[in-house]
Chain A
Amino acid sequence: GESVGLHLPTLSVQEGDNSIINCAYSNSASDYFIWYKQESGKGPQFIIDIRSNMDKRQGQRVTVLLNKTVKHLSLQIAATQPGDSAVYFCAETGGSYIPTFGRGTSLIVHP
């Protein structure tokens, strides 16, 4: 994942719009990727995962896309709701199940 930064990138969207959150990873050996959602004052919550033998995986209102060529991961949230407001982290693992977390993106959904 990306190194820890001083400030979280922020994505502001209107309720009902689709959101796309991006993440670049650095370890080409990583073979398992996870997206987590973290609400203020709480621990991360698993959203969706994808293995390196796939390039797309869909869940309920969420889709993860993996581009191994450019080491890029994205999370798409359809029909974004105010309850989706949170910080979203991508995480990668390679060989072990201890994830390395990216810097996170703060999603703000305006009603």
Chain B
Amino acid sequence: GAVVSQHPSWVICKSGTSVKIECRSLDFQATTMFWYRQFPKQSLMLMATSNEGSKATYEQGVEKDKFLINHASLTLSTLTVTSAHPEDSSFYICSAPRGANEKLFFGSGTQLSVL
């Protein structure tokens, strides 16, 4: 079964609104989670590293004020796309490392469509 739960699976919103995506680790604690963005037929691009109890670390070129990350507990990280625009439409995926080998497990992804 899934070890990382991501919600919602898809969301459609109007331009200018904000959208929150949740990522939960199931049955394990994750002090770190990762957020990726994926455009159609392209690879996954790391956006940011979410750190429990501290600020997220953003990759170069990712606007931290645009993509707000909160890692409020050891099992939950949220990504909020603020003032969404059509160019923010994409597939967003979270992941969390688990186990001694810190193998990454991925959520099912969220398809965001901004009208």
Instruction: List chain A positions with a Cβ less than 8 A from chain B.
Output: 1, 4-8, 34, 36, 41-46, 49, 89, 97-104, 106
Cβ–Cβ contact A44 & B93, under 8 A: yes
In the complex with contacts A41-B111, A89-B43, A104-B43, A97-B106 CB distance below 8 A: no
Cβ–Cβ contact B41 & A42, under 8 A: no
Sampled A-B contacts (15; CB under 8 Å) = A1-B43, A8-B42, A43-B93, A43-B107, A43-B109, A44-B95, A46-B104, A46-B105, A49-B103, A97-B97, A98-B34, A99-B104, A101-B43, A102-B43, A103-B42
Instruction: List chain B positions with a Cβ less than 8 A from chain A.
Output: 4, 6, 34, 41-46, 49, 91, 93, 95, 97, 102-109, 111
| Complex interface: chain B residues within 8 A of A8 (CB) | 41-42
| Complex interface: chain A residues within 8 A of B106 (CB) | 36, 43-45
How many Å from the CB of A41 to the closest CB on chain B? Answer: 7
